[in-house]
Structure 1
Amino acid sequence: MAYKHGVYTSEVATSMVAPITGTAGLQVIVGTAPVNMLKDPAAAVNVPLLVSSYKEAVEAVGYLPDFANYTLCECISANFSVVGIAPMVLINVLDPAKHKIAITGGTVQVNDGVAVLEETGVLLEGLTVKSGSTTLTAGTDYTTTWNDDGTLNIVVLSTGAGKEATSLTVTGNKIDPSKVTAADIVGGVDSSTGKETGLEVVRQVYPKLSMTPGILLAPRFSKDATVAAALQAKTKSINSVFGAVCVVDIDSSNTGATKYTAVKTTKEAQAVSDPNAYAVWPFAKVGNTVYSGSALAAALTAYTDAQNDDTPNVSPSNKTIAVSAACLEDGTEVVLDQEQANTVNSFGVATWLNMNGFRLWGNNTAAYPGISDPKDRWFSVRRFLTWAANTFILTYFQKVDSPANKRLIEAIVDSENVRGNGFVARGVCARYEITFNEDENTTADLLDGKITFHQYITPFTPAEDIEDIIEFDPNALSAALN
């Protein structure tokens, strides 16, 4: 040890534990995408892909503006082009090895060295291109490029075997998104390989990406009762510890609710009634482009969080969004006034209201009106409590297996209460306090390595009903004249 003479300082780690959080409104979206446009389509099937920009999203799953068939593209557009929020996790279930059909192909004309195959979804693997009886080799005799509409250019190389060709014969396969079913979205686990598909892949989000899911959705597919049930079930005990919410489309097709008065029965037929579910009816248009209600509502919810310090205490209801009209799934416009929109809200369903610009309208979870407990009725309250629980787990996981002594207990209580005081000061909560009560921690529990804290969290409920009582004061007339 060196000889010391003088004044010295050193530092120790801060006793307060810094909270560790993921993005509060991280969207995890299960759906379909034109993965045939990728270099390795199979690598983008049933895996969680984190994207933070439009470019990253297109590179991850491909992109076509055909939202009825490619629901992940719908969310890419809703998040990056309409709302402006990132990141999100995409899970594509469209499997080129499973969801495919033969292309009509046939003979295509070569003009200026390029033959345009007027089909979308073409799979390059297994594609056969012939000039007469000669089979051309990709990269040697021709190359391919994609057009914006998803059709394929076959560019004949001047040094290849087909350089003199005036027409080509093309055969092969293309992806068929119509073959993707509700069962593919729900997914499962292969008993022999352990491979997870569909919503089961949600389990991989935290282990792979170190981010906790905030909002689960499967746009358009969620109108199916089986998918809606799976989404609601999956919000609980993710990785056995985390929670989330889901956003569900109430069916607005010609077999669902085409009028606002039919929303209640349609919601009940879909069995959407969980406190962790936020139901939306109907779809909406941006210009002539139709988006599902769930895609827009989820994006707006994540955006609202981001605007409020990544804290999910503010309701997305009454927040404006750049849509042109509410509409049914087929694009038929729906015009609701406030009274009709409120009726939809009374069913536990959010909708779109044009009040000096379109806005999402509805604070209730799908549990309403069956459940009126404020922690399960209000969407913003439910989300905050779930987020607070996830944050507690992530923050204090590092304390697991530490000695269960007074220092550990005080560190957790002090850290959490300092954080809670910040929420109260900011007007996020009326109360956010944690205590360690001796009567909840028996000697038997302590001997078993278990310590229990009691937390009181009271986020403010939304000011849904504001009333002004107006009274005519006749005395003011005489007072004004004297």
Structure 2
Amino acid sequence: MAFYHGVSTRQADTSVSTPVTADSGIAFVVGAAPVHTVGGTVNEPIMCMNYGEAVSAFGYSDDWEKYPICEAIYSQFKLYGVAPVVFVNVLDPEKHKKSVTESNYPLSDGKVMLPLEALKSTVTVTGYAAGTDYELFYEGENLILEVLDGGTIPANTGELTIAFDAVDPGAITKTEIIGGFDTTTKKYSGLELIDSVFPKYGIVADLLLAPGWSHNAEVAAVMSAKAAAINGVFEGKALIDIDAATVKHYADVPAWKKSNNINAKTQIPCWPLVKLGDRVFHFSVQAAGRMGQTDADNGGCPAESPSNKLLQIDSAVLADGTVVLLDLQQANYLNSNGIVTALNFIGGYVLWGNQTACFPADTDPKNYFIPVSRMFGWVSNTLILTYWSKVDKKMTRRLIESIVDSVNIWLNGLVAEEQLLGGRVEFKDEENSTTALMAGKAVFHVYLTPPSPAQELDFVLEYDADYVAAAFAA
């Protein structure tokens, strides 16, 4: 080293790593939004922190059948106050559109109300020019044509002849929701964009939703596959809606679940639809809000079940509006088949059910209990985020011991917070052969036991005659 005369210091890496806690309860929503009203993007994941950001990025309409992303925007931000949320709009105004035949539209108070689907740039008014005689702007549920002062449109004109192109959300197919990779544009689309969220935003979106589409067996299967290996390493859950248009009786729901191959631990199937006032929601959307809020109430940890927690609804309904009122036995029948539902029993409507779709075929608690399964995924995600920086460091005893020590400290903290009943990590000789270590492979065996939900509380009542004798003994 160079000559030095004096005192110097240097810093060594801390031997125990601070955990980088994985995100929990963050929804990733794929669907259609009225992006043509705000110049929004197509097939690009956009993270939003509040209602205003979401509306600015995607536009808004109360027609949720056409624009299910708006349903998720309303539920996540206005009803549950959960953030962030990542949205992907697949409605492409350049592709999903149709021509509307020239027609006469009434002019009232200097305005013509055109449908929200009308594409502003395509509007033509027979005999008049945009910018000179009228202007166009989106407001509420309409594209509004407003007559300009000084233009050539007479004040007493009763109607205008107008033609335009309109976006057509009905032209979207399940293939576009599923998405893929375009070899021409070299871009991903649809559900495939879940793998772009972490590189772009540094968050793990662990709840996958496709409201209005997840009842399709193929879409549900892809959602399950993506949830099992986000970015190839992270784990999440796919919230699946059981078709409330064709399945109209609770007893028929398990058969639909079976015939549509909804049976994975990464899937949480929900039935039926739910309603608040005049607004009808896909159950998956409200379930995502409920799960996110429950996680937030537990410090961002998914250890507690969302079951028996209040939903923001006043009824459960079928697609045709028929009210579904389940009693406890009927709701428990759905739960026994791995289906989440809504129950109005004590204290208002709650989400009811602790089981993932793999139940009852799979009875491993880490797979079928929603909070236990989510905890395993969350711990796994956290370990990956925390120790990724250790990859390619020198394989030494100190490295191994530092990882073991820091993981055990973190697990002990979770136990102290009652997020785990117990947890530890071991570096076992029998799992780490000399040849494996020579090849740079180390195996850490993590033992953990998340608390199961208190699903059944049984009180045994017995008549005790001794109390009679005691009462009259005096």
SS at structure 1 position matched to 2:460: coil
For 1:23 and 1:165, locate their aligned partners in 2 and report how far apart those are by CA, in whole Å.
60
1:478 to partner: Cα distance: 0.9
For 2:355 and 2:242, locate their aligned partners in 1 and report how far apart those are by CA, in whole Å.
14
SS at structure 2 position matched to 1:221: coil
1:293 to partner: Cα distance: 0.7
1:110 to partner: Cα distance: 3.4
Candidates 376, 391, 402, aligned match of 1:400: 391
SS at structure 2 position matched to 1:15: coil
- Asked whether the equivalents of residues 156 and 163 of structure 1 are also in contact (C-alpha less than 8 Å), the reply is no
- Asked whether the equivalents of residues 22 and 385 of structure 2 are also in contact (C-alpha less than 8 Å), the reply is no
For 1:76 and 1:330, locate their aligned partners in 2 and report how far apart those are by CA, in whole Å.
23
1:81 to partner: Cα distance: 2.0
Identity of matched residues, %: 39
For 2:391 and 2:312, locate their aligned partners in 1 and report how far apart those are by CA, in whole Å.
46
- How do residues 275-314 of structure 1 correspond to structure 2 at under 5 angstroms? 275-314=265-304
SS at structure 2 position matched to 1:146: strand
1:382 to partner: Cα distance: 0.8
SS at structure 1 position matched to 2:447: strand
Give the aligned partner of residue 454 of structure 1. Answer: 445
Give the aligned partner of residue 27 of structure 1. Answer: 27
SS at structure 2 position matched to 1:342: helix
Q: Which amino acid aligns with 2:324?
A: V
Single out whichever of 334-343 and 64-73 deviates more from structure 2: 64-73
For 1:409 and 1:129, locate their aligned partners in 2 and report how far apart those are by CA, in whole Å.
74
- Asked whether the equivalents of residues 45 and 86 of structure 2 are also in contact (C-alpha less than 8 Å), the reply is yes
Give the aligned partner of residue 37 of structure 1. Answer: 37
- Asked whether the equivalents of residues 315 and 380 of structure 1 are also in contact (C-alpha less than 8 Å), the reply is yes
1:62 to partner: Cα distance: 1.0
Listed one character per residue, the Cα deviations across residues 150-206 of structure 1 (whole Å, up to 9, x for unaligned) are 211112322455576834332221111112122221112112322211111111111
Give the aligned partner of residue 368 of structure 2. Answer: 377
Which consecutive residues of structure 2, in runs of 5 or more, have no partner in the other structure?
A: none
For 1:70 and 1:267, locate their aligned partners in 2 and report how far apart those are by CA, in whole Å.
26
Tell me if 1:272 matches 2:262.
Answer: yes
Q: Which amino acid aligns with 1:331?
A: G
Q: Which amino acid aligns with 1:265?
A: A
Give the aligned partner of residue 70 of structure 1. Answer: 67
Q: Which amino acid aligns with 2:178?
A: V
Candidates 203, 213, 233, aligned match of 2:205: 213
- How do residues 402-481 of structure 1 correspond to structure 2 at under 5 angstroms? 402-481=393-472
Give the aligned partner of residue 168 of structure 1. Answer: 160
- Asked whether the equivalents of residues 276 and 315 of structure 2 are also in contact (C-alpha less than 8 Å), the reply is yes
- Asked whether the equivalents of residues 350 and 361 of structure 1 are also in contact (C-alpha less than 8 Å), the reply is yes
- Asked whether the equivalents of residues 239 and 268 of structure 2 are also in contact (C-alpha less than 8 Å), the reply is yes
- How do residues 323-334 of structure 1 correspond to structure 2 at under 5 angstroms? 323-334=313-324
1:13 to partner: Cα distance: 5.4
Give the aligned partner of residue 121 of structure 1. Answer: 117
1:128 to partner: Cα distance: 2.2
For 1:146 and 1:252, locate their aligned partners in 2 and report how far apart those are by CA, in whole Å.
33
Distance 1:157 1:336, change over 3 A: same
Tell me if 1:100 matches 2:130.
Answer: no
Distance 1:55 1:105, change over 3 A: farther
- How do residues 300-379 of structure 1 correspond to structure 2 at under 5 angstroms? 300-355=290-345, 356-379=347-370
Distance 1:129 1:338, change over 3 A: same
For 2:153 and 2:199, locate their aligned partners in 1 and report how far apart those are by CA, in whole Å.
49
Equivalent pairs counted in the alignment come to 468
Give the aligned partner of residue 17 of structure 1. Answer: 17
- Asked whether the equivalents of residues 120 and 143 of structure 2 are also in contact (C-alpha less than 8 Å), the reply is no
For 2:448 and 2:289, locate their aligned partners in 1 and report how far apart those are by CA, in whole Å.
26
Listed one character per residue, the Cα deviations across residues 14-45 of structure 1 (whole Å, up to 9, x for unaligned) are 4321222342111001111111211x24xx21
Q: Which amino acid aligns with 1:464?
A: Q
For 1:163 and 1:80, locate their aligned partners in 2 and report how far apart those are by CA, in whole Å.
45
Listed one character per residue, the Cα deviations across residues 195-248 of structure 1 (whole Å, up to 9, x for unaligned) are 211111111111111111210011121111111111111112221211111110
1:137 to partner: Cα distance: 3.2
For 1:241 and 1:122, locate their aligned partners in 2 and report how far apart those are by CA, in whole Å.
43
Give TM-score, length-normalised by structure 2: 0.94
SS at structure 2 position matched to 1:429: coil
Q: Which amino acid aligns with 1:463?
A: A
For 1:129 and 1:238, locate their aligned partners in 2 and report how far apart those are by CA, in whole Å.
49
- Asked whether the equivalents of residues 15 and 411 of structure 1 are also in contact (C-alpha less than 8 Å), the reply is yes
Distance 1:114 1:361, change over 3 A: same
Distance 1:468 1:188, change over 3 A: same
Q: Which amino acid aligns with 2:417?
A: R
Q: CA RMSD for the aligned pairs? A: 1.9
For 2:137 and 2:204, locate their aligned partners in 1 and report how far apart those are by CA, in whole Å.
37
- Asked whether the equivalents of residues 420 and 433 of structure 1 are also in contact (C-alpha less than 8 Å), the reply is yes
Give the aligned partner of residue 188 of structure 2. Answer: 196
Q: Which amino acid aligns with 2:469?
A: S
Q: Which amino acid aligns with 1:468?
A: F
Q: Which amino acid aligns with 2:472?
A: L
